[in-house]
Amino acid sequence: MYDPLHHTSPGENLAYPDSYWADSLGLKPKIQPGLEGEFDTDVLIIGAGYTGMSTALHLAREHNIEPMVIEANQTAWGCSGRNAGFILKSTGRMAWTAMQKKWGEEVMRGIYQEACSGVDIVNSLIAEGIDCQVQDKGYIKVAHKPSMMAGLEQQAKLLNQLFSYDVEVLNRQALHQQYMRDENAYGAIRFNDGFGLNPLKLALGYEQLLAKSGVNIYTGTPALAYQRLPDGHQIKTPNATIKAKKLVIATNGYTPKGFNPVVNNRFLPVLSQIIVTQPLTEDQLKSCNFLTSNVVMDTRALKYYYRKLPDNRILFGGRGAITGKGAENPYYANRLLSVLKQSFPALDNICYDYAWAGWICMSLDDIPHVYEDDEIFYAMGYCGSGVSFSVQAGKRLAERVAGVKIPELPLYQHGLKKFPLPALRRSGQWLYFQYGRIRDNYL
């Protein structure tokens, strides 16, 4: 599998992975030939995932700027088409209370509003006619052991105090009776505004909105070489040369090795693994008391997450391999299936029909960054929480490209920090996984 820390290109015109989402499209999208010739543009966007498409859409709609968008493979071929489809109010991994302590309440509230805006924009774009299988609203965060419940209750109390956020506290019995009988869940808190959807259909809906705005995506066109010019930037693809006054990097966790000095060694791509089971029978659903289609995540350091899909399959995800070389080892999918069966013993005989992995993008300080360095713009580092916030980041990125002032928040004031000893990023990741395993099981 493509590994951003080892490969200098994600490929050219590769088909979508064999995922549940791609299969749900029915007919596979036709693979188009890549861009050919010489081109000049005011704004070139590299990457046609959520970030790149949101940036392009906001540039076209709000700033009357028509960018050129290139994509190495297919629209949303990267994490935008591989994620679990969770729409949540989140920005990276840093807790709201940690933000409050580090930057003060005003900044923390400003970042919270950015997260809310991301969800609002996604909802408004869906309302334009995107059919992406939106499910019932609700996000359940479960305590994976009894000792974690006090922390969840405190979190619910703080969210209510800080944002008047109505969060329901569920004890084990209520959770099992009203939502699902997860034997590894010892209570939960429930947010009433998160939800699940088909992330690839969402992305292809964005592509259709772009087409209506007059912006095309040139797929099968990987950016292979970069050169700084006196009056802008030059990108070479296999069959094209593109000169641009402004360059937008929207490749996030799929950014290749040595791609551009502005982002090199400033992120850590981490594999997330997902399986989708066979459809559950009515008896299996009843035995698990699986009444909800709310999205679910636990309190582990190495989190598991799941949801019931519209056809009664269970999507179940968690961490994957350390490197791309190990990504397709069935060990990781089988490990997820084993944990699923521990949570729902009635599913002991179930198998999975789909298994795939995708790269999420971790930043050193656990928050995303929207930044500009010498007419090179980027938004990266969503830390696995980018389905909605990447769209907000695209809006802010478009404003930055257009020269519009954006809020003075840490997300936007500073670029990604460079990882110390970047060659050892994977070693640090391995050590964190060992710590997480010990903490989740024994502490």
pLDDT in tens, 319-346: 999 999 999 999 999 999 999 999 999 9
Domain extents in the chain: 20-83+200-266+364-433, 139-192
pLDDT band of residue 33 (cuts 50, 70, 90) is confident
pLDDT of residue 32: 81
- Please say if the pLDDT value at position 389 is more than 80: yes
- Please say if the pLDDT value at position 283 is more than 80: yes
Q: How many residues does the chain have?
A: 443
Question: What is the 3-state secondary structure of 34-99?
Answer: CCCEEEEEEEEEECCCHHHHHHHHHHHHHHCCCCEEECCCCCCCCHHHCCCCEECCCCCCCCHHHH
- Judge whether 386 and 50 are in contact, CB under 8 Å: yes
- Judge whether 139 and 295 are in contact, CB under 8 Å: yes
Q: Which residue has the higher pLDDT, 166 or 356?
A: 356
Question: Residue 318 — φ and ψ, nearest 5°?
Answer: -175, -165
In whole angstroms, give the CA distance from residue 382 to residue 398: 17
Beta strands 217-218 and 68-70, pairing class: parallel
- Please say if the pLDDT value at position 368 is more than 70: yes
In whole angstroms, give the CA distance from residue 110 to residue 69: 30
pLDDT of residue 17: 94
Mean pLDDT of 111-117: 97
Mean pLDDT of 30-37: 86
Q: Which CATH class is domain 20-83+200-266+364-433?
A: alpha beta
Q: Which residues contact 295 (CB under 8 A, 6 or more apart)?
A: 84, 86, 87, 88, 138, 139, 140, 194, 195, 196, 305, 307
pLDDT band of residue 3 (cuts 50, 70, 90) is very high
pLDDT band of residue 443 (cuts 50, 70, 90) is confident
Share of the chain above pLDDT 70, in %: 99
- Please say if the pLDDT value at position 390 is more than 60: yes
Helix, strand, coil percentages in the chain from 3-state DSSP, rounded to 5: 35, 20, 40
pLDDT of residue 28: 63
Mean pLDDT of 3-20: 96
User: What secondary structure letter does DSSP report for 418?
Assistant: P
